[in-house]
Amino acid sequence: MSRKDSSQPLQPWLLLALFSLGVAMGCAGHIVENHSHSAPEHGRSRALHTTAGHGQHRSESRYYVTGETAEDRLITRKLEKAWKSWKGTPHRMGGTTRGGVDCSGLVQILYKELFGISMPRTVARQVKLGQPVRQEGLRPGDLVFFLPPGKRHVGIYMGQGRFLHASARRGVVISMLSENYWGKYYWTARRYFR
């Protein structure tokens, strides 16, 4: 199935209407880890608005893409099930097991298990593959990349602004792209199938 990214941003009134509809229908009930401490990596997630890097103010509703498909929902369910299986697995550089895993190792394992796709082992190689995707056009299963100081990081987008990844401090978790830390160091995204 092929789908091109929309180059036209959604109108603010439409985003607000879609977000309101999603809340009314219970779409906001997905599991998202609550970040109650103030460590830089774990900036507090906010319900509607957050301040991104470079002082920009953005609405979390920008991640609610219109036209969610049955395939998108299936991929989200697969990723949520994988998260429950991997939740709390500690971070270990070079790790590829439930005893310890790093970010690119988790991507490699889950892409093979969930989608039957063989991925390279490192972030540096994973980011060179696939098709570039604009942040506003992210769909479940896309990889999101970050450039924190002195390192590279990758996670799997789950929809509604969430991504699954192996955090260096907290192990395998779900975080929000709208968190200050991730917004500040967001780099790019890639699509590998569809």
pLDDT band at 127 (very low <50, low <70, confident <90, very high): very high
Quickly state the pLDDT bin for 62 (edges 50, 70, 90): low
Q: Which two tokens stand for residue 59?
A: 């609405």
Alpha-carbon separation of residue 134 from 15, 52, 157 (angstroms): 17, 16, 13
pLDDT in tens, 141-191: 999 999 999 999 999 999 999 999 999 999 999 999 999 999 999 999 999
Domains of the chain, residue spans: 12-191
Q: Which residues contact 84 (CB under 8 A, 6 or more apart)?
A: none
Distance of CA 115 to the CA centre of its chain: 16
Task: Evaluate whether 139 touches 191 at the Cβ level (below 8 Å).
Answer: yes
Q: What is the DSSP letter of 121?
A: S
Which amino acid is present at 114? L
Q: Report the pLDDT value the prediction gives residue 194, as an integer from 0 to 100.
A: 82
Rounded to two decimals, the pTM is 0.69
Sign, Cα dihedral of 65, 69, 72, 73: positive
State mean pLDDT over 3-15: 47
As beta bridge partners, residue 188 has 145
How many whole angstroms separate alpha carbon 141 and alpha carbon 127? Answer: 14
- Look at the chain and count its residues: 194
Q: Is 139 exposed, middle or buried (0-12, 13-18, 19+ CB in 10 A)?
A: buried
Q: Name the residues annotated as catalytic.
A: 103, 153, 165
pLDDT digits (tens, 9 = 90+) for 41-51: 333 333 322 33
**74-115 pLDDT per residue, tens:** 999 999 999 999 999 999 999 999 999 999 999 999 999 999
- What CATH number matches the domain at 12-191, 3.40.50.2300, 3.40.50.360, 3.40.1170.60, 3.90.1720.10? 3.90.1720.10
Q: Decide: 105 and 95 in contact? Cβ < 8 Å.
A: yes
Angle at 79 between CA 17 and CA 21, to 5 degrees: 10
